[in-house]
Amino acid sequence: MENHVQMLTETALRISGVNPQKCMKCGKCSGTCPSYDAMEYHPHQFVAMVEKGQIEKLMESDSIYMCLSCMACVERCPRGVEPGKLVEAVRLMKIRQQDQNRKNGNDIAAFADENVPQQLLMAAMRKYRK
């Protein structure tokens, strides 16, 4: 089990390029996050929890789908930790698993109406499923 967590952690760090040890725990990311209140775990917690071996809690949390990918935390992080990239990595590791899509193609297509731009549907396809 421990090995499993270690493998998940290593993968998340590798594909995100994030080094949690660069974090000085200032909380700037969470101070700037527009989706803060919708998240159970906040950007700074993604960094801290992955470092502390708690990546599975993050994978099971809806927080991974609340990130807007606005990159405010990536831009403003004074240490270049770029938490948003880690949120994305954890989300990918969740949906890359068998039958772990948050929404499937039909669910997303059902949202289409005369105003919803293609861009929005396509983004959902990429963010919620594999």
Partner 1 sequence: MIYSYYPGCTLKDRAKEMDKYARASAAALGIELREIPEWQCCGAVYPQASDEIASRLSAVRALMNTEEGKLVTMCSACHHVIKRTNYDWNRDADFRMKATNYMKPEVPYDGSTQVLHFLEVIRDEIGFEELKKKVVNPLTGRKIGAFYGCMVLRPGKELAFDDPENPQIIEDFIRALGAEPVKYPYRNECCGAYVALENKNCAETQVDRALNSAIANGCEELITACPLCMYNLVENATRHKLPVRYFTELLAEALGVKEG
Partner 2 sequence: MQKIGVFVCWCGSNIAGTVDVEAVSEAMKSVPGVVYSANYQYMCSAAGQKLIADAIHEHHLDGIVVASCSPRMHENTFRKTAEAAGLNPYMVEIANIREQCSWIHKDKEEGTAKAIVLARTAVAKLLHNKPLQAGTSAVTKRALVIGGGIAGIQTALDVADAGYEVDIVEQRPTIGGRMAQLDKTFPTLDCSACILTPKMVEASQNEKINIISYAKVEKVDGFVGNFKATIRKKARFVDETKCTGCSLCMSKCPSKKGKDEFNMEMNNRPAIYIPFAQAIPNVAVIDPEQCLKLKTGKCGLCEKVCTAGAINYKQQDELIEREYGAIVVATGFKPIDPSPLNEYGYADNADVITSLELERLMNAAGPTKGTLLRPSDLQHPHEIVFIQCVGSRCDENTKRGKPYCSKICCMYTAKHAMLIRDKYPDTKVHVFYIDVRTPGKNFDEFYRRAVEQYGVDYIKGMVGKVAKEGDKLMVRGSDLINNQQVEIAADLVVLATAIEPDPTARSIGTMLTASMDTNDFFTEAHAKLRPVESPTAGIFLSGVAQGPKDVPETVAQASAAAAKVIGLLAKDHLVTNPCVAYSNELLCNGCSQCEKVCPYGAITYIEKEVRGPGVREVRRIAQVNPAVCQGCGACTVTCPSGAMDLKGFANKQIMAEVDAICL
Residues that bind partner 1 (CB under 8 A): 14-17, 34-35, 38, 65-66, 68-72, 74-75, 82, 84-85, 88-89, 92, 103, 108, 111, 115-127
Instruction: Give CA–CA dist 120/112, Å, rounded.
Output: 9
Residue 38 binding target from partner 1, partner 2, none, CB below 5 to 8 Å by type: partner 1
Tokens of 122: 């396509």
4 binds partner 2 (CB under 8 A): no
Q: Which is nearer to partner 1, 23 or 90 (CB)?
A: 90
52 binds partner 2 (CB under 8 A): no
Tokens 């421990």 sit at which residue? 2
Instruction: Give CA–CA dist 74/5, Å, rounded.
Output: 25
Least distance in angstroms from the C-beta of 62 to partner 2: 17
Least distance in angstroms from the C-beta of 4 to partner 1: 19
Contact yes or no for 64/74 (Cβ under 8 A): no
Tokens of 67: 């990130």
H or E stretch covering 90 = helix 83-95
54 binds partner 2 (CB under 8 A): no
Q: Enumerate binding residues for partner 2 (CB under 8 A).
A: 22, 24-33, 36-37, 42, 44, 72, 76-80
